[in-house]
Amino acid sequence: MRGMSILLGVLLLLGLSCGAVSAAAGAPGRCTTSTPVKSYAKCIALPTQGATLAWTYDARNATLDAAFTGSFISPSGWVAWGVNQDAPAMAGARVIAAFSDPSTGALLALPFVLSPDVKLQAKPLVSRPLDIPLLASSATLISPARTVRDGASVTIAVTIRLSPNRTSLHFVWNRGLYVQGYSPTIHPTDASDLASHATVDILTTATESSPIASAKLQWAHGTLNALSWGLLLPIGAALARYLRPCASAGPAAWFYAHAATQAAGYLLGAAGFALGIAMGAASPGVTYKLHRGLGIAAATAGSLQTLAVFFRPKTTNRYRKYWKSYHHLLGYGCVVIGVVNVFQGFEVMGLGASYWKLGYCMALATVIGGCVALEVNAWVVFCRRQQEEKLMRREVEDVVVKDRAAAF
C-alpha cells in the first residue's frame, strides 16, 4: 500500500504539472485594436483557444466591423468565427471559415451555415451564402506566417449589418485539424473547444461565457479514474481468480488481497466520479454523453458490488451459487466498462495520441499479459490434474478387476 501511495502521488504531480501546461496553452490571448487589416474601436480576449475579437460598431446604420484572430492547429486545418442570432451555440450559427485552397494553396474565407444536421455529422459541411446581411469578409495570415501551419495566426475580418438596437450578440468560434475538399471536418472535443462561444455586448464589451472546469481538476479526475477503474479494479479481479488456487499463500490470502485492492480502487474511483460531477456542474455548456453514461454505469456497478459484500450468503446457503454468479458477472462487467471509459476519457481530454495514453496502455497490457500467462498456467495445471485423476481411476479399476479375478 505504501508503494501504491507513492505511485498515486507521482501520477498526480505529473498530471497536475502537465495540466498547468495545458491550461497555459488554452489561456485567453491579449487583445489589441490594431490588426493587419485596420484599427478598431474596441477589443476583448475571448475565453478559449487564445482567440481575440476587435470591432467597431456604427450605431447610425447598425453596422458591425469586426476582426477575429485565432490560430491554426494543423497545416491542413481550418479556423472559423461567426454569429448565432438565437443562442450561444454552434447549431444555428452563421460563420466564416478560413483555410487553404486545396488547389492553389491560397487562403480562403468562405461562408457556412451550421444547421443542426451538421452538428450530428449527418452530411458534409458545404459553403453557401449567408442569410444575414454580410457586406464584406476576408482572411489574412499574421506575420511571420506566410502559409497555413500549426500555430499560424489568422485574422478573419467581417462587416455585417445588424438589427437596429441589437447590441448583445452571440459569437462562436473554433478550429479543426482537417478540410476535406472545401468542407471543414469536425473540430476537437476538448472542454475548451466545446465552450468556444460567448455573448458580448458590443457597446460595453460585457462578456458572458460558459465556465470551464480547471485543468488541474480535469487532470486529477483523469488520474484518479485511470488508476482506479482502469488498473486497480482489473488487478483486484485477477487476484481473486489466480491467487485463490495458490495454497501456499494461505486459504484466505486471496480474499484479503482481493478485498483490499477492490476497496482501494472503489474509493479512488468514487473520488474521481465525484470530481466528474463537480466538473459537469462547473461547465453547464459542456457535455460528453458517452463518457458520462459509461461513468455512471461503472459507478453504479461498483456500488452494487460493494453493497453485495454485505449480503453474501454463507457457503452452506443454497442461494450462494446465485450470489457468486451475480458477483462475477457484475464485477467483470464493471471492469470492462471502467477500462473502456478510461480510453474514452483520453479522447475527451484530447490525449488520444499522447504519451499518457501510451503509458496507460503499457500498464494495462502488462496486467493483461500477466492474466494471460496465469490463465494458460491454470489450464495446464487443470489438464494435468485431470490426467492424473484419470490415471488414478484406471489404476483403481485395474486393482478392483484383479481382486475380483483372484476371488473367483
- Name the binding residues for heme b: 221, 258, 291, 327
The CA distances from residue 126 to 79, 112, 315, 382, in Å, are: 15, 7, 66, 63
Residues annotated within the binding site are 221, 258, 291, 327
CA distance 305 to 330: 7
- Say if CB 27 and CB 45 are below 8 A apart: no
Residues 175-185 as b or e (16 or more Cβ within 10 Å = b): bbbebeebbbe
Please name the residue that has the C-alpha cell 460585457: 206
Q: Residue 346: enclosing H or E segment and its boundaries? A: helix 320-348
∠212-214-220 over CA atoms, to 5°? 130
140 Cβ neighbours under 8 A, 6+ residues apart = 36, 37, 107, 154, 155, 157
CB 129 within 8 A of CB 111: yes
CA distances from 107 to 101, 156, 158, 225 (A): 6, 11, 15, 43
Q: Is the preceding peptide bond at 144 cis, omega within 30 degrees of 0?
A: yes
The candidate with the shortest Cα–Cα distance to 302, out of 273, 331, 325, is: 331
> How far, in Å, CA of 198 to CA of 195, rounded?
8
**167: CB partners within 8 A, 6+ apart:** 57, 201, 202, 203
